[in-house]
């Protein structure tokens, strides 16, 4: 009874005895709060793991690549590291100043003390447009569930949606595809069940409750990204070590307005942002829903550290909304160059 609060003690001891049912509810409620606070953890879990499991293992220091960014951080004192970074920054600034004076900056120019960037232009040749339309007409028209089933056969994506208690993948794969489509299109389970002949609302609801969670979505996304990474055509776009991230705003329905949370860009209209990380091989390896008024910079690290793909990101690009001094410094400590 040492962990039981005075409020719970009154409920447990009501009637002069020990109410076992109330006591068990108290235990589960306390475990829930402890899991959320990080006071207890579940071995092998991704979300409720111990704090020590998120730290760099002691043996990893001995395996640091000599001369790498992490090697410099771990083996040098802070003054030496900062001096080296300061010297490199000064060298790059001097080189930029020289190029600006000679008018040789790539896609940029300095005139009257102002920096102007050459705008991006559409580089698609006119001759390629008829070819694109012709290729689109050659694509077969298939049901989206059939397409998901084919992709699942290639990648084993559905095995990632393990049961919350047993960890077993769902037996009804077709119903899983329908639930994924309903979630991805924001269609809702009721309308999806009306459109499907063999998937009732309760069957889809059970799949969502027991199999579709944030961690299973992350595992499935990592599986798809790794499969796409192995495609020979993807290697033509990049080596997979560069990524970028940005937020996309979506307006939300409903008559209410978040008048207390004003966004400088989106105003007081209710909505949500999806912050997406995408690699140079055009694979979205991490997506997170955030509030429309939330700053984007902290979620840069979430995407770089919490994705389940094998993408070895070494260089990351963001706009000004995804940059702060703290994130810039932490990226450097992690061996990732932020731009």
Is residue 309 located within the same domain as residue 246?
A: yes
314 and 261 within one domain = yes
**Residue 51 belongs to some domain of the structure:** no
> What is the sign of the dihedral through the CA atoms of 230, 232, 233 and 237?
positive
How many domains does the structure of the chain reveal? 3
Task: Say what the pLDDT of residue 264 is.
Answer: 61
pLDDT at residue 150, rounded to an integer: 92
The answer to whether residue 225 sits within a structural domain is no
Give me the pLDDT at residue 106, please: 83
User: Residues 197, 244: one domain?
Assistant: no
Residue 196 lies in a domain: yes
- Is residue 288 a part of any domain in this protein? yes
Q: Which long-range contacts (CB under 8 A, 24 or more apart) does 270-274 make?
A: 273/247, 273/248, 273/249, 274/247, 274/248, 274/250
Residues 257 and 326 in one domain: yes
User: Within a domain: residue 154?
Assistant: yes
Cβ–Cβ < 8 Å for 335, 314: yes
Sheet containing 284-291: order of strands: 284-291, 271-279, 242-251, 315-317, 337-338
Residue 243 shares a structural domain with residue 333 = yes
Q: How high is the pLDDT of residue 259?
A: 46
Q: What is the pLDDT of residue 69?
A: 53
Confidence (pLDDT) at 277:
92
Residues 243 and 313 in one domain: yes
The residues with which 287 forms a beta bridge, in sequence order, are: 276
Q: Which run of H or E residues covers position 150?
A: helix 144-155
Q: Would you state the structure tokens that stand for residue 73, as one six-digit string? A: 């951080």
> Same domain, yes or no, for 242 and 334?
yes
Identify whether residues 242 and 191 lie together within a single domain. Answer: no
Q: How far is Cα 179 from Cα 287, in angstroms, rounded to an integer?
A: 19
Instruction: Of 4, 34, 33, give the one whose Cα is nearest residue 18.
Output: 4
Q: What is the pLDDT along the chain (339 residues), one digit of tens a residue?
A: 888 888 888 888 887 788 899 999 999 999 998 888 888 888 877 778 888 877 766 666 555 556 555 555 555 677 887 888 899 999 999 998 888 888 888 888 888 878 888 887 777 788 888 988 898 899 888 888 888 999 999 999 999 999 988 889 999 898 999 999 998 888 889 998 888 877 889 999 999 999 998 889 989 999 999 999 888 888 888 888 899 999 988 877 655 454 445 566 666 667 788 999 999 998 999 998 888 888 888 899 988 888 888 878 889 999 888 888 888 888 888 888 887
In a domain, 248, yes or no: yes
- Its pTM stands at 0.62
Work out the widest C-alpha separation in the chain, in whole angstroms.
Answer: 90
Distance CA 337, CA 299 (A): 16
pLDDT for position 195: 85
- Give a yes or no: residue 85 inside a domain: no
The parent domain of residue 16 ranges over 1-32
Is residue 136, in this structure, part of any structural domain at all? no
């Amino acid at each position: 009874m040492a962990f039981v609060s005075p409020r719970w003690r009154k409920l447990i001891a009501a009637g002069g005895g020990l109410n076992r049912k109330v006591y068990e509810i108290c235990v589960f409620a306390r475990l829930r709060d402890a899991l959320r606070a990080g006071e207890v953890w579940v071995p092998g879990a991704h979300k409720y793991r111990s704090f020590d499991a998120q730290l760099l293992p002691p043996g990893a220091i001995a395996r640091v690549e000599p001369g790498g960014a992490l090697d410099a951080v771990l083996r040098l004192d802070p003054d030496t590291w900062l001096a080296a970074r300061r010297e490199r920054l000064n060298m790059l600034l001097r080189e930029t100043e020289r190029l600006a004076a000679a008018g040789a900056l790539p896609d940029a120019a300095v005139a009257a003390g102002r920096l102007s960037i050459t705008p991006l232009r559409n580089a698609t040749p006119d001759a390629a447009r008829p070819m694109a339309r012709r290729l689109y007409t050659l694509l077969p028209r298939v049901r989206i569930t059939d397409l998901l089933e084919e992709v699942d056969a290639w990648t084993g994506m559905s095995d990632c949606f393990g049961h919350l208690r047993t960890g077993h993948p769902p037996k009804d794969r077709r119903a899983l595809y329908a639930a994924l489509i309903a979630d991805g299109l924001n269609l809702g389970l009721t309308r999806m069940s009306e459109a499907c002949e063999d998937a009732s609302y309760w069957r889809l609801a059970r799949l969502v409750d027991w199999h579709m969670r944030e961690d299973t979505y992350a595992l499935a996304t990592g599986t798809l990204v790794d499969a796409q990474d192995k495609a020979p055509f993807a290697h033509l776009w990049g080596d997979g070590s560069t990524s970028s991230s940005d937020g996309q705003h979506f307006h939300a329905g409903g008559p209410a307005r978040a008048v207390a949370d004003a966004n400088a860009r989106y105003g007081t209209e209710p909505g949500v942002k999806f912050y997406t990380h995408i690699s140079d091989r055009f694979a979205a390896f991490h997506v997170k829903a955030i509030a429309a008024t939330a700053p984007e910079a902290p979620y840069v690290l979430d995407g770089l550290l919490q994705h389940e793909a094998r993408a070895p990101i070494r260089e990351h690009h963001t706009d000004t909304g995804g940059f702060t001094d703290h994130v810039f410094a932490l990226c450097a400590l992690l061996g990732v160059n932020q731009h």
